[in-house]
Structure 1
Amino acid sequence: MKDELTLTILGGMDKDGVPEPVNSLEICKGEIIGIVGPTGSGKSTLIDDIEQLAQGDTPTGRTLLINGNRPDALIRVDPRRKLVAQLSQKMHFLADMTVSDFLHMHTRSRGKGPELVNKVIELANTLTGEPISADHYLTVLSGGQSRSLMTADIAVISDSPVVLIDEIENAGIKKQEALQLLAGEGKIVVVVTHDPVLALMASRRIVIRNGGMVDIITTSIGEQDVCGRITEVDNWLMSLRETIRRGEVVEGLS
């Protein structure tokens, strides 16, 4: 199923009980979809519906289909069969174990080889400015390190073909590389964002207003050009932040 997976969202109701103008949206493997809208408009509610694979049984009344069909009931409740992984704005570990022990445990639970552990750590270190080592304890990782580790873990070890991300621009990681990594592994990536770079990286974006899906915007060639230009500025700002973090002097704006 995961090789040919499509995810379909069937519209429900907005906050006033009015049917959503967007009544159906199909998302394909490897696609990045943005969710945009004002604060409090219902963006997180939409990803909650996706995470639950809602079947008309949430306040919005939305229904999710997998490959055009209603999912097996066990997929919704059995963690071993879960199709959806989620990266939240705030992520900290509670388990008092090392990064290596955690990743080895995950590979064993998925029936995969231990050689993936080093790959996950290497990928995680491409997403964070603070290096992660195998012998670091999970409880001492920063928020950015934690999200970098889980992004790499989802890309390499997790079988979940759908990844939900809530405002990764606030996660303290290299956001563009994270999205490209997940989409490159064939995941369906749905990202809630206020960030123009991430919104324009998406092939399409869902516009949310008053709790309802009111429009689907396909990213145009012109918008892709804008994305390239603002990405250069965004990368410069990230470089500047790293210079300041290292305690170095900012020499100028050139």
Structure 2
Amino acid sequence: MNEHQLLTTAFEKLLKEAPYLKDFFDSFGFEAASLTGTVEELFAGLSEDHLDDMGLTLDQLRTALRDYVEGMGALQQEIDTVEKLTIRGGFNKDREAEDFELDLIPGQITCIVGPTGSGKSRLLADIEWVAQGDTPTGRHILINGQVPDAKWRFSIEHKLVAQLSQNMNFVMDLSVEEFIRMHAESRFVANVDEKITAILAQANELAGESFTADTPITSLSGGQSRALMIADTAILSRSPIVLIDEIENAGIDRKKALALLIKEEKIVLMATHDPILALMGQRRLVIKNGGVAKIIETGQAERANLEQLEVLDRKLMALRHRIRQGETLETI
């Protein structure tokens, strides 16, 4: 919508085409729902006293409206497709060069493994910040084979990465439904109620214990909080890359969580100590002394072992369930 259309379109039509304008006019005390005529006519009818009360000149009000529309338009733009993320090696803590260049594509899981303090979180941070040799590791991140546009680094509305940290605590006084609705509406998502239903259903699939739409988010357990954020990230977030830090500690169904993210065509990087998660990835980056020491592609033999590990894991999960239910483990 250009400026001429903005100023000359009748309010009834304007608010249907751009419903977010209601918030703009309401914020200046105009009660958008009762406005008639056009924006131009509204502005022309404002007295000097009215403008003084608002603390604006007419030109400033016009500029505020134009900037608001441009900003909201930027939020609604489709995010550029990320077909490939490239990591170019930098150096480790001893300033020894990392000799690798790795391409990651949507639908892949790449695991990051190594001892505590080895530099796994540093690698995740380099990707999140779209490093250009300006972080302690000297790594470079390319998008679709090119040096990324500045918007990937500095723009709030074009976040390249969604990150799920080890600790997920809410401080807002909202219900689960209100939280999801606020996120969906901020992204101008169509069919908000359908998204709320889908996210809640997926979150309950992942969580060890189910919760309802009216549950306060501050009362969610750690596992429930992580399940909600994974479902929300998969379904609502436009960020093409998801970084996960130690999902094994979250108290959720790890396999379903990863399957959900892959289904939504995300590039997934996951720091983990869990052998099952490590073997679920296409590859794993072995971090030592702050650098990538080795890249291991998951082979057929490891895939076969994964099936055996999953059998053991299901047995352990069944034992955990019995413990939670107050049963004894005299026989297993």
TM-score, scaled relative to structure 2: 0.74
State the Cα distance separating 1:247 from its structure 2 match. Answer: 2.2
State the Cα distance separating 1:3 from its structure 2 match. Answer: 4.5
Partners of 2:256 and 2:330 in 1: CA distance: 27
Deviations 1:50-69 (A, max 9, x none): 11111111100111111111
State the Cα distance separating 1:2 from its structure 2 match. Answer: 5.2
Deviations 1:17-57 (A, max 9, x none): 111132x1000110000001112111111001111111111
Q: Which residue of 2 aligns with 1:13?
A: 91
**1:1-254 correspondence to structure 2 within 5 Å:** 3=81, 5-22=83-100, 24-112=101-189, 113-114=191-192, 115-250=194-329, 252-253=331-332
State the Cα distance separating 1:176 from its structure 2 match. Answer: 1.4
Deviations 1:226-253 (A, max 9, x none): 0111011112111221221122344622
Which letter maps to 2:280? M
State the Cα distance separating 1:102 from its structure 2 match. Answer: 0.7
Partners of 2:159 and 2:82 in 1: CA distance: 16
SS of the counterpart of 1:81? Answer: coil
Runs of 4+ in structure 1 over 3 Å off: 1-4, 248-251
Partners of 1:246 and 1:122 in 2: CA distance: 24
- Highest relative contact order (Cα 8 Å, sep 6+), 1 or 2? 1
Which letter maps to 2:292? M
**Structure 2: runs of 5+ lacking an equivalent:** 1-78
State the Cα distance separating 1:4 from its structure 2 match. Answer: 5.0
Paired residue total: 252
State the Cα distance separating 1:129 from its structure 2 match. Answer: 1.3
Partners of 1:165 and 1:182 in 2: CA distance: 11
Identity of aligned residues (%): 52
More helix by share: 2
Partners of 2:104 and 2:218 in 1: CA distance: 36
SS of the counterpart of 1:30? Answer: coil
Partners of 1:133 and 1:157 in 2: CA distance: 19
Partners of 1:90 and 1:231 in 2: CA distance: 25
Q: Computing the radius of gyration over CA atoms, which structure comes out larger, 1 or 2? A: 2
TM-score, scaled relative to structure 1: 0.96
Checking the alignment, whether the CA contact within 8 Å between 1:2 and 1:161 is kept in structure 2 is no
Deviations 1:45-97 (A, max 9, x none): 10011111111111001111111112111221222110100111111111111
Which letter maps to 2:244? I
